[in-house]
Chains A and B, each alone.
Chain A
Amino acid sequence: MKSNKSFPVRFRIFIHRWGAAYLLALPGLVYFFINKYIPMAGIVVAFKKYTVKKGIFGSDWIGLKNFEFLFKSEDAFIITRNTILYNLIFILLNMVIGIGLAIIISDITSKFARKIYQSAVLLPFLMSIIIASYIVYALFSADTGMVNNSILKAFGKEPVSWYQTKAAWPWILTITNVWKSVGYSVLIYIAGIAGIDKTYYEAAKLDGAGRWQQIRRITVPCLMPTIITLTLMNIGRIFYSDFGLFYQVPMDSGMLYSVTNVIDTYVYRALISAGNIGMSAAAGFYQSIVGFILVLAANGVVRRVSKENAMF
């Protein structure tokens, strides 16, 4: 279409039109290039027997040998399963509970009370996972924990060694995660709700819509872009599971590994003593690939359902 103009002319028009925008984006692009794109070259280490002297590019190629340890036993299946299932549950619960709390908090008329509730929900999110893990420990410690000493005793039940009981941990971890991180999604959803035009609600009320109908027909549809963006981002991070939650909160108890081991903790445990850079890189690479596939898949689903909300 523009073929009748020469390249320098087109270039000048382009600069004139978009130059300021690109200039504005420049710091961000440089940041991404340095921190995200340059290190990608390091991926080759995953396929090499790395030694310092030979360096990243000089080390010998060993093919897929670094990946073998991941698939050495049934662990690969367990950790992949744990990672995906836990995160799906976390994403779902954080979304549902987050939206619910956000709607409730938005409906509070007293500004002061609203701030209080908002902060109270957010507080655990700001807490270090170490502190959270000790709060859980204070509840479930076999010797001194509150559950064993106050609750179970009151009902005349035998104490349980929680940190050796596998069945309890999917629940404990899920509840801990929701308690700890829901405040953050609540914050975002409250911001989303605040942005919804009030006239929609007034119109709905005039038409006789009840509270529930308002939520279903106005609030949730208006929040959709936020929900989809958040969910997509969370899915992309599925393979970077919350290390602190899975490592600190169960106190690294060996007997719980089959229900608490996720890819991060597995790699950490296997490599902390060996310190093999090639294998660490291989595990990181595996994480990225599966994460990438998940993002593409999730985005594909979104595009099918509502094209305008898809990221690309």
Chain B
Amino acid sequence: MRTKNSVMAMVLILVMLLSAACSGTGSSGSQKNAEGADTMVQGDTKGTAPDGGANAEGNASVSQGEADGSQTNTYPCVNFDEEPYTVHMMYMLANEEKDTAKVLEKINELALKELNMKVELIPTTIADIQQQSQLMLTGGEPLDLLPVMSSSVSGFMDSEFLLDMSEYIDKEGYNTRKYWGDYAKIASYNGIVYGVPMQKEYATPVGFMMRRDILNELGIDIVQYEGKGLAAFEEVFEKVHEKYPDMTVIGPIGDLFGKNYTVDSLSDGFGVLMNYGQDTTVVNYYESQEFADICKTARSWYEKGYIMKDAATATMTGTETMKAGNLFCFPQCINPKSRYAVGGQCGYEMVDVAIWEERMISTDTIASLTYSIAQQSQDPEKAFAFLDWAIGSAQFNNLLIWGIEGEHYVIGEDGTAKFPEGKDALSAGYHRDYGFASPNQMIAELWDGFPANTWEKFKAFNDGSINSKALGFRFDASEFSTEIAALTSVQSEYLRALTSGSVDPEKELANFNAKLKEADIDTVISAKQKQLDVWLQK
């Protein structure tokens, strides 16, 4: 009996262990990531640039003379006699679309005709990208091109997962150089160009997305608050709270007040350049007066009941909470099309209003998402050629983002893309709508409802931003992985709670800084300073 029992116990325990391990780690990881990345999605999902028809914008003159979009163009230097190389390309999407196979077939046709290559697309979601790319890179599965988030770069580069693209950009980066100009090699780490950024806004300022109907009702002219800093919005929130005492005024905050949008966070936020990166002395942002003020403002809002009580732990995104109703506004990274995109997703007319005066372009904001070449690529040169072709091909980007013309979308009279008669996002069969995670959304079609000058606005938005003094610099953290790991754990303990006002900064801010000191933030800061000084001299 004893043996029988223990055998049964063993089996059961094994099952329990396995199931606990699977359910635990898998979902928690994705939940966390999904939340962090969502702000990006909200801001960038809709809209692309017209090609051919309404090509009014200045920045993206259509490549290779694809005036009517149907004409084929072979890419320079293609050898059509050899066996076509198959590129394995990972791409991001919200969820798997029904007609993906059909679209893939069309993309293959196009690539074979213009480039003599085939392509295998590997789907991944924003929630899984970190884990999935890590697995594929470690496991050595066939992979050529993959999207890489700025936050993964130092880890991937320390493990030598990504290949240097510098030489390819110089020699064969026709479209990369054309669309990126001086910024073609901005995504570099320790002298290695690890990727080409996706075309989107260069700066990622944080703002509030507010409901226009409530602003109008209360007669608030929101423009006068724009760029006046966080505390200036108190008046607005007070009025809203007075009128709608049961409404949540400010929705999920995430780390948006805490992430350093007025400073260049130099990849991890441990040691930053103040004043939109105009200072060249690396300092601890969490000890600055600016950060203390943000925590204080957030705390007073929390106590007055403007900020939702569960803000520090909320897993629903701002858009989701807004859609569920009873919310006035939430913070997120804004760009010229966020109000249209978010408005469409939440079902309210939205206004975006920037919190801080300036927009800053830093290495992290411009290269927040890049396409990189995996170390196991069988033919990195071909992989790069494919990426460069994709950056210049309107047809490729249209297929990837909107699907097949006539089947998944049609071009309306005003030149924008819309769903075919009687179809919507769910029934269309393919509507990926991830422009920001495509090689070049700005040469693809613009979706219905977006102003025709959207991409001009993007250009103005980028031009009106200020460049951090450290634009192009990236901290080489390989010697400090121990410190960074310890600091990250301290940061996750305090940052959200402080910037959502959930805890009293009088007490906890000092604790936070004491723990950062204990985890050797000063070592990281001085190392950053040293590397930056060397970089600035060049």
Contacts and interface: CB of A to CB of B under 8 A. Distances in A.
Contacts of B8: 188, 191
A277 interface: yes
Contacts of B510: none
Given A142-B309, A255-B312, A164 B17 contact: no
Nearest to B5: A226
B23 A129 contact: yes
A247 B156 contact: no
B1 interface: yes
A248 B24 contact: yes
Chain B, interface size category, equals 35 or more
Contacts of A143: 248, 308-310
B138 A277 contact: yes
Nearest to B1: A195
Interface stretch (A16-24, A70-78, A100-108, A199-207): A70-78
B528 to A, nearest CB: 16
B313 interface: yes
A301 B1 CA distance: 23
B427 interface: no
A254 B489 CA distance: 9
Interface residues of A, number: 57
Contacts of A273: 151-152, 155, 488
Given A141-B310, A248-B28, A279-B485, A52 B160 contact: yes
A141 B314 CA distance: 10
- Judged by DSSP, the binding face of A is helix
A128 interface: yes
Interface string A95-118: 000000000000000000000000
A163 interface: yes
Given A188-B5, A269-B488, A274-B155, A255 B503 contact: yes
Nearest to B315: A251
A86 interface: no
Contacts of B120: none
Given A51-B160, A52-B140, A254 B492 contact: yes
Contacts of B309: 141-143, 159, 161
Most chain A CB inside 10 Å of its own CB: which residue of B6, B29, B161, B495: B6
Interface string A250-278: 01111101000000001011111111110
B56 interface: no
Contact of A73 (B5, B20, B518): B518
A230 to B, nearest CB: 6
B67 interface: no
Interface of B: 1-2, 4-6, 8-10, 12-13, 16-17, 20-21, 23-25, 27-29, 32, 130, 134, 137-138, 140, 151-152, 154-156, 158-161, 248, 308-310, 312-313, 315, 375-376, 481-486, 488-490, 492-497, 502-503, 508, 515, 518-520
5 tightest A-B contacts by CB? A142-B309, A275-B155, A244-B24, A243-B24, A72-B486
5 contacts: A143-B248, A226-B9, A251-B313, A272-B130, A274-B488
